[in-house]
Chain A
């Protein structure tokens, strides 16, 4: 019996495993659909359904179990009879609905409430599907008029040639009763008969149809299973045989002369109820081994599930540790003192904190694949609903990002994908008329570049309508008039404005639930940015840039006047002091530097952030060339202070998000440094 103690981790395990299986199942179905039919994965689906059924039944989640069972039945039939006509898309629908139902239920379990959904609708569907299969199959079968039934009907005969009773042979009659709820009593009876075959001959039994008729299980349950046989073995030997049968509750065994199987004999009743259990325990000399069990190291478990909040605390602590380390090792009081041994220890400390931090970070990193594959499902459901054709191509699903980030971008991604299918991709007729292939293409791609992860959603649909967006922008007073100076990207980014997402605005984009401004906000929440690009008639590309992780980065500290800014190391290409001849100034007084034949704009940080700089002469200060998203520019600062790992903290909520600032961090001496967002500066 499961007690509460042990039930807790088991339900966790159930949730974990079932979720994994459902994911696998969903992938199987969707992949199968793409490659034309589920034929190849029937075995696999059957097996997964079977396993889910078993586990759910153990947890007493009867609805999940019975639903899985009915779907399993369908696949069992498919596997065994290999019917010729199967509506695979209907089948996929059925399985997907089942997956959805079970997923919901499992989530309820995960959240601590019991599963209470009603699956009767889907179960009915599944039954219907199976009966349709069977009917069509029978029709085909009849045409080829072949009887398969004969083979199954043949009875298992224990002893084909009955012998006459020899002198040393004794005839026995037995009635056995199995434990309640042991299940499949008829097969148990069959097992008994089969094993008895090794010891005895001329075996007869009642009910006779234990193999053909599963209903015989009921009879055996109520009236017991009656056997008659002859054997050369002793009564004690035969008693021992029966005692060794699994789930045997009790049996009557007696010697007889006449065959009268129908009447149960009344002597030699051995009740195997609780006594057999106890006596077995007492008889067993090795019984006290309970305490001796050696824990075995070969168990399969290689994962633990950890509360996310604990991970967050761990991450925070590591962050604090990094700061504390800097506070100690870069303590102003150490300045100018020669401390060789101290710095040796410091290096050791730094190495360990570095490794610790990398490890903690890697624990939090999760591949995007699960999130991406959810999109497969969305596209599939939508194209069926909208009667469009589209193919989702997934690239770079193995790219890893922080778990926190995944949670935040899942919804925006879903929204963007929906938009792409709903408003981007045109109907097949329209596409053909435009000279495109009938099947629309949506590409969902993830890649890491520098310290960021890029997620790009690209469709080859109708694209955005510049004029419509412009006129709406003017109407809403976002711009005064269309002076033709706005770049396409600037125009398209209007759709990210709040209130710009209602249906009548731009036909190509309308939201379901959340608008594009919500998408943009969600992405900004994790420090990301979204940009829109589109070519009318050819498609739209949404690029989302998100930081690899929110937590700790390698930074270069630069001094500008009295302020210290931190530039993410990953963005820095080189740092140099300017040579006079390289400086170019254009008509608008924009400064540029020519390096190796390339022109780079100069951004004076002191001007940008309006601080008093020590160096205003470009040849006195230092140039830091940074690159992001293919764009390069040179940041001008007073001096470089050195490299340090910094813990990124968001700016306090009372400060509005500032373009060009990614966040702030605390330095070793306790002062605050702003972290530059290079993409925002470029």
Chain B
């Protein structure tokens, strides 16, 4: 499964990438803000996008909406921290396929994403 990671923190991108690549996912790209995320999505057409919510330039929610416009069946999993329930609600209404709560461990990510396999 080809995954695009969108997150402004290099640390989180690295962590996710490592977790995913060691478990049979192919990380086809990384983006560090919403705008780049949309562009990369359009270019790479990944099967799955992990999307951070708080990011510079354009936040994850706006990027999600844009991606959903490009492809209504796009699978976007939001990465969120506790305490952002409202944003998560909104992202679910905007078509997010689910969300993972930070801080996460590998098992959580894999279990969560296994729903899309």
Contacts and interface: CB of A to CB of B under 8 A. Distances in A.
Contacts, number: 140
Contacts of B80: 184
Interface residues of B, number: 55
Nearest to A184: B101
B contacts with A: majority SS: mixed
Interface stretch (A43-51, A364-372, A532-540, A553-561): A43-51
A187 B89 contact: yes
B98 A245 contact: yes
B99 A58 contact: no
Contact of A17 (B11, B89, B108, B114): B11
Interface stretch (A283-291, A346-354, A510-518, A640-648): A283-291
B106 interface: yes
Contacts of B101: 182-184
B18 interface: yes
A302 to B, nearest CB: 11
A329 to B, nearest CB: 46
Contacts of B111: 179, 182, 247, 277
Nearest to B8: A51
A212 B109 CA distance: 27
Contacts of B100: 182, 246
Interface in A165-219: 179, 181-184, 186-188, 190-191, 194, 211, 214
Interface string B92-117: 11001111111111111011111111
Given A17-B9, A179-B111, A184-B85, A280 B117 contact: yes
Contacts of B102: 54, 57-58
Interface in B44-83: 54-56, 77, 80-83
Contacts of A139: none
A211 B89 contact: yes
Contacts of A13: 10-11, 14
Interface residues of A, number: 60
A301 B106 CA distance: 22
B50 to A, nearest CB: 12
Contacts of B54: 46-47, 50-51
Interface string B3-16: 00000111111110
B115 A245 contact: yes
B38 interface: no
A183 B17 CA distance: 21
A58 B89 contact: no
A299 B81 CA distance: 24
A188 B98 CA distance: 8
A367 B98 CA distance: 44
Nearest to A60: B103
A13 B9 CA distance: 10
B108 A296 contact: no
B105 A296 contact: no
Name the residue among B77, B97, B103 with the largest chain A CB count within 10 angstroms: B103
Interface of B: 1, 8-15, 17-18, 21-24, 26-30, 32, 54-56, 77, 80-83, 85, 88-89, 92-93, 96-108, 110-117
Interface of A: 1-2, 6, 10, 13-14, 17-18, 44, 46-47, 50-51, 53-55, 57-58, 60, 65, 69, 73, 76, 156, 179, 181-184, 186-188, 190-191, 194, 211, 214, 243-248, 276-277, 280-281, 283-284, 286-287, 289-290, 293-294, 296, 298-301
